[in-house]
Structure 1
Amino acid sequence: MEIEGSFWRAIAVYRIASLAYAALLLAGAGGYQRPALGWLVIGVMALWTAATTFAYSVARGRALLVIDLLVTMGCLLASPYVQGSGAGPAGVMPVTATWIGGPVLAWAVYGGRRAGVVAAIILSLGDLWLRGLRAFDLFVPASGAVLLILAGAVVGHVARLTKQAEERLQRAVEMEAAGRERERLARGIHDSVLQVLALVQRRGLEIGGEAAELGRLAGGQEAALREMIRGEPVSARYEDAGLTDVGALLRRYGSATVTVSTPATPLLLRAEQAREVAAAVGAALDNVRRHCEEGTRAWVFAEGDAESVTVTVRDDGPGIPAGRLAEAEAEGRLGVAQSIRGRVANLGGTAGFISVPGQGTEVELTVPAPA
């Protein structure tokens, strides 16, 4: 990702600048009893700075992050040998100076604020131990450790938010491109395929017989194709929350004999809920095709509020005789009991059946809406 790459370049700049600062301290400040050993440590720091600048630009992984932390800790723990007897609470700054912040920033960018804080705590404990805080006296100033931990937390949090923003932006660009492509295809399909299917449906119904069946099939494909080219993707923020527009799933059932009506705004359910509700509606429509005369019309209505989503399936078939559903369940025919009632009950909802002989059947499915 381009934005994440900017973070790693900024870390490389920080490492180089802090390395130069550590070298200036060693060259200009007193208190180091073994400067030659100090320059050796500075040389190791320079080599590792060059190595990590290249490594983090081509590949990033946990192994590299752990090695980075260990090398930095090794350079930090070499400070007492450079400082000599001046080491301790009143001693001079460790030879690494602010260079130890590099791994903290790297861990934060890679793994977020928790990883950044962990790396900061590890290095802070090493720094405090060098300064003589073995008893961890809380009244002893430890501002460097606090700043290191805060830097890991803040940079990690900002890096994670930036990654999420970039991912959502990329998804929005892809959705916009898909929408433009859908519009382009819709224009071409409307001017050719849909008109041909509509003509086949109309002429087939006029001729009758087997041609009427072909006309009905063409009408079903026309409705499905219209739904496909008009479908709009659910907003990325809904997808991130694990929500799905059940209305989009229901509109796929639209055909020459099935009319689907859904609100203009999304009817959001959890993805598993939406799939189960759509499957229950599909089972209800299968019952219409199986038990009603050919050409029986059906209607699917969907609505919702803050508490629930209700889907109603109606048909103009002969209806269900009184007690027939109970008899079928007693005979072991569990199509309605399992495919419709069972699915909805597992979601914490209810399924109601209203049927009047000669006037069709109505199935009402109600499931609780997510908070």
Structure 2
Amino acid sequence: MERSVTPLERGVLGGLAVFRYLAWAWMAVVLWVSRDELGHPAAALGLCAATAAASLALGAASRWRPALLFRPEVVAAEVGLGAALLVADGWVYGGPHRVALGSAWPIAGALAAGIAGGPVGGAAAGVVIGLGRYGGTRLDDLGSPGLLSLLSTTFLYALAGGAAGLVMRRLQQATDEIAAARAREEVARTLHDGVLQTLAVVQRRSTDSDLAELARTQERELRQFLFGIDRAPGDLLAELRQAAATATARHGLAVEVTAVDDPGEIPADAVRALVGAVGEALTNASKHGDATRAVVFVDPDDDGVQVSVNDDGSGFDVDAVPEGVGLGRSIRGRVAEVGGQVQVRSAPGRGTEVRLTLPR
């Protein structure tokens, strides 16, 4: 059973096929220009024809059956042909010549091995092709290049193959991560519009405390699964979702985190300050405002980022009630330390909004 080939691999194999065609075309031009220097023209034409056939066959495979190009025997055949071109170089010309037989075409073998076998496979193929040049010098009666030249050629072939394998692996990892993130985002959007909202309704309306607690637990675990896994350190949205899940677990407060856009890169200390302040605001909403729901809203722009916490609690008179330690130190103090500002808007019976503003 043939392995599956990803769209990324198909695209890379297609690009490699174009490289082979162009390398063969240049090889044909070089042979034509240097035809008077050939000592065995028939052998040169034969190798040129074999290279053309290989280029066409591998190019067709990259389009119709790309999985074939990952088979060890196919990769070995291409590497072998590239090494054979270098081995036959001195003998085919039989005298001084300006460009090696095959020119750039043998590099394709190292690149193909890197794509199929990773950095180690690509580097090993490059060494084999480099040894082909050493073998070619043994057939050349006019003397061989120095050891440094041979080592340099081998190193360059190995470097090309190893780099191709490394780049291919990193591209595939990045593609997989992007696909996973998109899939998780789509699942999160679907569940948020259905399951999460249903669980929130059950918590608010159920008269059965056990059922309400079960719905709360399920909502918390689902939010943790959707938004809490694979979060990068310093990711503001992921950290806020974690803070929301914590508030739900500790206080039974249903918290929704929403954002106008990705806030982008924010210093780690600023993220910690904002998340800590939001966590304290959610605690205050539950303990002092008897809130049942809260929304954390993130609004980034060119000037900075605003994070607001809106709850449906009892609210209070901002001018009449003195600020406690939670608001004064845990919220204002944290945000002020990173150069931000805090605004509190509230009124009795109308809930509370805590707005945190952080400049760029």
The bucket for the TM-score relative to the shorter chain is 0.5 to 0.7
CA distance in 1, matches of 2:9, 2:149: 37
1:11 aligns with 2:21: no
Counterpart pick for 2:129 among 123, 126, 133: 123
Please state whether the residue corresponding to 1:16 is helix, strand or coil: helix
Write the distance in 1 (CA, Å) between the matches of 2:219 and 2:231.
26
Match of 2:316 in 1: none
1:330 counterpart residue number: none
Distance in 1, matches of 2:118 and 2:111, equals 10
Q: What secondary structure sits across from 2:147 in the alignment?
A: coil
Residues 10 and 62 in structure 2, CA contact (< 8 A), matched pair in contact too: no
Report the CA distance shift for 1:79/1:237 in structure 2 as closer, same or farther (over 3 A). farther
Cα pair distance change 1:51/1:181, threshold 3 Å: same
Give the superposition deviation at 1:36: 2.2
The change in CA–CA distance for 1:114 and 1:138 in structure 2 (over 3 A counts) is: same
> How many angstroms apart in 2 are the aligned matches of 1:68 and 1:155?
16
Aligned counterparts of 1:49 and 1:236: Cα–Cα separation in 2: 43
Distance in 2 (alpha carbons) for counterparts of 1:155 and 1:68: 16
Q: Is the 8 A contact 2:137 2:145 kept in 1?
A: no
Q: Where does 1:235-254 land on structure 2 (aligned, <5 Å)?
A: 235-236=229-230
Tell me if structure 2 keeps the 8 A contact 1:171–1:236.
no
1:73 matched to which residue of 2? 83
- Show CA shifts across 1:247-302 (max 9, x none): x9xx89x99xx9899xxxxxxxxxxxxxxxxxxxxxxxxxxxxxxxxxxxxxxxxx
Counterpart among 25, 33, 36 of residue 28 in structure 1: 33
Match of 1:42 among 36, 45, 48: 48
Matched AA of 2:17: A
Counterparts of 1:81 and 1:137, CA distance in 2: 18
In the alignment, is the contact (CA less than 8 A) between 1:168 and 1:236 conserved in 2?
A: no
How many residues of Structure 1 are paired with residues of Structure 2 in the alignment? 230
8 Å Cα contact 1:79/1:94 also seen in 2: yes
Alpha-carbon distance in structure 2 between the residues aligned to 1:92 and 1:128: 17
Larger deviation, residues 125-134 vs 42-51: 125-134
Any residues of structure 2 matched to 1:174-193 within 5 Å, and which? Answer: 174-186=183-195, 188-190=197-199, 193=202
Match of 2:207 in 1: 199
User: Any idea what SS the aligned residue of 1:72 has?
Assistant: helix
Give 5+ residue unaligned stretches, structure 1.
202-215, 240-244, 262-371
2:62 to 53, 56, 67: 56
What is the percent sequence identity of the aligned residues? Answer: 19
Tell me by how many angstroms 1:22 deviates. Answer: 0.9
How far off is 1:116 after superposition? 1.6
1:65-91 Cα offsets, whole Å, 9 max, x none, are 1232223334443445532x33xxx55
1:191-340 equivalences under 5 Å are 193-195=202-204, 198-201=206-209, 216=210, 218-231=211-224, 232-236=226-230
Q: Between 7-16 and 92-101, report the one with greater CA deviation.
A: 92-101
CA contact (8 A) 1:91 1:131 kept: no
Q: Is the 8 A contact 2:87 2:137 kept in 1?
A: no
Q: Residues 136 and 25 (structure 1 numbering): CA distance in 2 closer, same or farther, change over 3 Å?
A: closer
1:9 Cα deviation after fit: 1.9
Q: Deviations over 1:207-252 (max 9, x none)?
A: xxxxxxxxx3x2442233322443244443679xxxxx9xx9xx89
Higher-Rg member (1/2): 1
Going from structure 1 to structure 2, the CA distance change for 1:183 and 1:142 (only over 3 Å counts) comes to: same
Aligned partner letter, 2:223: R
Change (3 A) 1:100 1:139: closer
Q: Is the 8 A contact 1:111 1:156 kept in 2?
A: yes
3-state SS of paired residue (1:47): helix
Relative distance call for 1:120 and 1:139 in structure 2 (3 A) is: closer
Hey, what does 1:98 align to over in structure 2? 104
User: Could you tell me how far 1:192 is from its partner in structure 2?
Assistant: 5.0
Instruction: Give unmatched runs, 5+ long, in structure 2.
Output: 1-5, 234-238, 254-360
1:166 paired to 2:175:
yes
Q: Quote the RMSD (CA, aligned, Å).
A: 3.6
Change (3 A) 1:140 1:222: closer
The residue type paired with residue 13 of structure 2 is W
Matched AA of 1:199: T
Tell me how far apart the structure 2 counterparts of residues 91 and 105 of structure 1 sit (CA, whole Å).
Answer: 26
